Structures are given as C-alpha cells and as structure tokens.
C-alpha cells in the first residue's frame, strides 16, 4: 500500500518537473519609485541640454567650415589671377631679354661695320627705354601683389626679378663701356685723320682718351715718403694732372689723418681746390701711448664701390697691404690698375702686380724753403 502511494508521488514529480525554490522579492515603496522617476527626468533634461549645446557647436563648426571653404575658393581664384600675371610678367621679361640679346648682336654688327656715333647712341637709348619698361612692369606688379597669403610666391618672384634686373644692369654697364670705347675710337680716328691732313700740329694721338679714371690718394703715406726721399712735399695738383693725362676724371679722393696738435684746414682747402674729395679721420692713441691711423680698409671699400663706374684705378700709395686689392681689381673685375709712388718707398710686390707703375720724381716735389716752413700747418 505504501509502495503504491510512493510510486504515485514519484510519477507526479516527474510529470510536474523539478521544484523551483521560492525567492524573496523585495517590496519597493511608492516614494522610492517616485524618487527614481524624478531622477531619471532630471537626467533626461540634462542630456537634452548637452545635446543642444553639442548641436549648436556643430552648427557653428559647419558655418565656419563653409566660410573657410568660400575664402579658400576666393584665394584660389586670386592665386590663379596672380599666376596668370606671373606668367605674363615672365613672358615680358623673356621678351625683354630676347630684345636685349638682339640689340647686343646689332651693336656688335654695327661696331664691326664701323658705324657712326649716332647709331651707338640710338641703340643705347633703346636699351635704356627697355630697361625703364621692365622696371615699370615690375613696380606695377609689386603694387598689385600685397596680400599676405601670397607672401612666399612674391618672395620667389622678387628673387627671380631681382636677379634679372642685376643681370640687365651688368649688361647695360657693359654696353655703356662698349659705347664709350666706340666713341673714343671714333675720336681717335678723327684726330688721326686731321693729323694726316695736316690740320693739327701734333704728331701723336693719345689712345687712352675717354677712359674714366678713379684716383685714390693715401696722403699720409705720400707725405712721409716725400719727406724721407726728397725732404719736400708732394705737388698734389701736378700729380692729378699727370694721372689724368687727358683722360676723363670721374673721381679723385684724398684720405688724410688728422692729429690734434696740427691744423690742416689750409691743406684740406688746397686739396678741395685741386679737385679732390677729402676724407679725414682722427689719429687714435692706444693705452700704451702709441698711435695708429690708416685708411687701408676704407680705401679698399671705396675703390670696390666705384669699380662699376670707372675704367682705370689710379692708386697713389706705396703700401704693400694694397697688393690683394690690386689683384682682385685685375682678376675679378678686369679693370686696369696703375700705381703712383716713390721708387724707394713703394713695396716691390705692389710694383709687380700693378699694370703700370709710375715713379714720382723730384719734379713733382715742392722743396722751396718757404714751403717747408708751412709743413706743420698744411700737411697730413
């Protein structure tokens, strides 16, 4: 009996499945549930505010991006215009260079055929006009391009055009010298023709007429050399006339050292009256009592700056420190350099490196007794 009951119970358990244990579910009060709902509402409001702020930021970013895109398209259009003008300017520059080369060819052909001075003048005026046109185009372009956004482009353009202008200036200086030499040759030929026809009494022609001279005098060196060799003073007026020798004097500069105990006002006035530009500096006294005063560096800088405007350099000095300067003038600038100095007071290297060395003799010395009495008042 009992076994049948137990078997029936086991069959019911198998049919109904395993028993699930009961869980204790906590009871939530109405106030706590309301508090949670209010908190969720507050979080929802904060999330909507943050979403609105983010949306506003995105709108502003989108607006600024559109603005930048419009500015970029405007700059691209502007840059395109600049590039067109750059191409136009480059084309004009190449045309000017081509015209210049053609003019050089015409000038060479005219010189070979022995054309007259008017043809040289006409070619020279054409070159000047072309140069002015190129400079005007450059000026107009530089006024047009003032935007900071194209700063790098303008710098490259500036370097390109500046190099072209320097090259053209060098070519114009070459044409200037060529023209002067051609005019000089025509004058010499005319003078020789006059001599052959018996219209002039002179029998020789100075073929250096027309050369542009630059005379640079180291007064201190010349003063002490003249006093040591001839016990006199150098005649600077005769020196200038001898150096010029019927050539064109472009510049004459005298460099003097002033000392506090010697008044050189009269001497400076004399040099100015003779045609010199006078440059002076004070004698420097060292702490040990010795003194120093020379113009070597300043003279070299002045001579280099005048080289594009002269054909011959006249250096009046015996100082051997000028040897590198003379070598530079001859080798790099292909300009003649003549040296005037006293035979026994001029450095041997300076004599050898010069194209011509002119020794100063006693005929260039003021050696009167009256003149010697004024040495302290009128010499460097």
pLDDT digits (tens, 9 = 90+) for 50-60: 888 888 888 88
Of 231, 198, 199, 164, the residue nearest 371 (C-alpha)? 231
Kind plus residue range of the DSSP H or E element containing 250? strand 248-258
Q: How far apart are CA 12 and CA 366, in angstroms?
A: 156
Q: Say which residues have a Cβ less than 8 Å from residue 209's Cβ, sequence separation at least 6.
A: 184, 187, 188, 246, 247
118-122, 209-213, 284-288 — most confident range: 209-213
CA 16 to chain centre: 108
Work out the pLDDT band at 315, boundaries 50, 70, 90. Answer: very high
Average pLDDT estimate for 334-363? 94
**What's the pTM?**
0.49
CB atoms near residue 20 (< 10 Å): 6
Residue 112, SS3 per DSSP? helix
What pLDDT does residue 380 have?
40
> How far separated are the first and last CA of the chain, in Å rounded?
158
Q: How far apart are CA 320 and CA 356, in angstroms?
A: 15
What pLDDT does residue 295 have?
86
Work out the pLDDT band at 87, boundaries 50, 70, 90. Answer: confident
Burial of 112 (0-12, 13-18, 19+ CB in 10 A): exposed
Q: Say which residues have a Cβ less than 8 Å from residue 186's Cβ, sequence separation at least 6.
A: 116, 117
Q: How far apart are CA 275 and CA 251, in angstroms?
A: 9
The predicted-structure confidence for 350-372, as pLDDT tens digits, reads as follows 999 999 999 999 999 986 434 44
Mean pLDDT for all residues in the chain? 77
Q: How far apart are CA 325 and CA 331, in angstroms?
A: 10
What pLDDT does residue 270 have?
93
Decide if pLDDT at 222 tops 90.
Answer: yes
Work out the pLDDT band at 238, boundaries 50, 70, 90. Answer: very high
Work out the pLDDT band at 101, boundaries 50, 70, 90. Answer: confident
Give percent of the chain above pLDDT 70. Answer: 63
What pLDDT does residue 210 have?
66
10-14, 54-58, 197-201 — most confident range: 54-58
CA 11 to chain centre: 115
Average pLDDT estimate for 162-185? 65
Average pLDDT estimate for 87-95? 80
Decide if pLDDT at 326 tops 50.
Answer: yes
Average pLDDT estimate for 146-157? 57
Work out the pLDDT band at 254, boundaries 50, 70, 90. Answer: very high
Rounded to 5 degrees, φ, ψ at 25 are -80, 125
Rounded to 5 degrees, φ, ψ at 283 are -75, 130
Residue 24 is encoded by which pair of tokens? 């204790």
The predicted-structure confidence for 102-140, as pLDDT tens digits, reads as follows 777 777 666 666 555 566 667 777 777 777 777 676 666
What pLDDT does residue 55 have?
86
Work out the pLDDT band at 251, boundaries 50, 70, 90. Answer: very high
Average pLDDT estimate for 270-285? 90
38-42, 50-54, 246-250, 348-352 — most confident range: 348-352
The predicted-structure confidence for 287-300, as pLDDT tens digits, reads as follows 665 566 788 899 99
Work out the pLDDT band at 98, boundaries 50, 70, 90. Answer: confident
Considering Cα of 67, then 69, then 75, then 78, what sign does the dihedral take? negative
Residue 278 is encoded by which pair of tokens? 């006078």
More confidently predicted of 252 and 157 = 252
DSSP sequence for 36-77: HHHHHHHHHHHHHHHHHHHHHHHHHHHHHHHHHHHHHHHHHH
Burial of 208 (0-12, 13-18, 19+ CB in 10 A): middle
Decide if pLDDT at 177 tops 90.
Answer: no
């Amino acid at each position: 009996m009992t076994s049948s009951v137990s078997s029936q119970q086991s069959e019911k358990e198998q049919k109904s499945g395993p028993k699930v244990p009961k869980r204790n579910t906590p009871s939530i009060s109405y106030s706590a549930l309301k508090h949670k709902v209010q908190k969720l509402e507050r979080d929802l409001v904060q999330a909507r505010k943050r979403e609105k702020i983010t949306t506003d930021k995105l709108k502003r970013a989108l607006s600024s991006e559109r603005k930048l895109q419009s500015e970029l398209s405007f700059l691209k259009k502007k840059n395109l215009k600049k590039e067109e003008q750059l191409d136009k300017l480059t084309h004009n520059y190449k045309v000017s260079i081509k015209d210049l080369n053609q003019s050089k060819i015409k000038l060479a052909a005219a010189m070979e055929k022995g054309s007259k001075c008017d043809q040289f003048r006409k070619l020279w005026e054409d070159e000047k006009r072309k140069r002015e046109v190129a400079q005007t185009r450059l000026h107009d372009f530089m006024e047009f391009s003032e935007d900071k956004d194209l700063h790098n482009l303008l710098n490259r353009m500036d370097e390109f055009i500046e190099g072209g202008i320097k090259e053209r200036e060098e070519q114009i200086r070459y044409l200037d010298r060529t023209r002067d030499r051609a005019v000089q040759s025509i004058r010499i030929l005319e003078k020789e023709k006059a001599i052959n026809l018996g219209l002039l009494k002179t029998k020789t022609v100075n073929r250096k007429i027309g050369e542009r001279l630059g005379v640079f005098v180291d007064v201190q060196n010349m003063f002490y050399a003249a006093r040591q060799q001839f016990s006199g003073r150098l005649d600077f007026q005769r020196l200038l006339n001898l150096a010029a020798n019927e050539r064109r004097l472009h510049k004459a500069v005298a460099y003097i050292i002033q000392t506090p105990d010697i008044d050189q006002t009269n001497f400076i006035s004399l040099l100015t009256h003779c045609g010199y530009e006078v440059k002076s500096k004070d004698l420097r006294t060292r702490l040990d009592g010795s003194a120093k005063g020379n113009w070597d560096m300043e003279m070299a800088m002045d001579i280099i700056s005048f080289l594009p405007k002269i054909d011959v350099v006249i250096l009046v000095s015996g100082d051997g420190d000028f040897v590198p300067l003379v070598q530079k003038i001859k080798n790099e600038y292909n300009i003649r350099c003549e040296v005037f100095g006293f035979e026994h007071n001029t450095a041997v290297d300076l004599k050898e490196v010069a194209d011509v060395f002119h020794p100063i003799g006693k005929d260039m010395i003021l050696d009167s007794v009256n003149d010697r009495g004024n040495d302290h008042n009128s010499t460097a």
